[in-house]
Amino acid sequence: MSSFDDRERGYEAKFAHDQELNFRIMARRNHLLGVWAGELLGYHGGELALYAGTVMTADLAEPGDDDVLQKVVADFQSRQITVPEADIRAKMDQLFGVARREILTGE
């Protein structure tokens, strides 16, 4: 039974590692999205960093990407900035790849 228990612990450890890795990638992606959106909103310096943080925390509202998407859409609308949702989703997809590479390579 020992080898079965060892295998089970190994699978649990891999699952936990994968979950943590995915969380870090998504947090990085959301930060990058916040920087991108913040620049379009006209933020610079400390304001830009604060805004990027608000985009990151928006992801904690509900599972999935819709909470982040809706925050950015609402912020754009409040400033009369027109960026189609499809373009924001495409940017999110692009930045996911960037964030994944950065996290996996330690950039």
pLDDT category, 1, cuts 50, 70, 90? low
Given this model, what pLDDT does residue 75 score? 97
CA 47 to chain centre: 19
22: its two tokens: 């995915």
pTM of the model: 0.86
Domain-located, residue 1: no
Q: Mean of the per-residue pLDDT values for the chain?
A: 90
pLDDT tens across 48-99, in order? 999 999 999 998 878 788 899 999 999 999 999 999 999 999 999 999 999 9
How far is the C-alpha of 100 from the C-alpha of 22, rounded, in Å? Answer: 9
Contact assessment for residue 85 and residue 18, using Cβ atoms and an 8 Å cutoff: no
- What's the domain range around 44? 26-105
Domain-located, residue 16: no
* Structural domain total, the chain: 1
Domain-located, residue 49: yes
We report the CATH number of the domain holding residue 46 as 1.10.790.20
How far is the C-alpha of 33 from the C-alpha of 92, rounded, in Å? Answer: 7
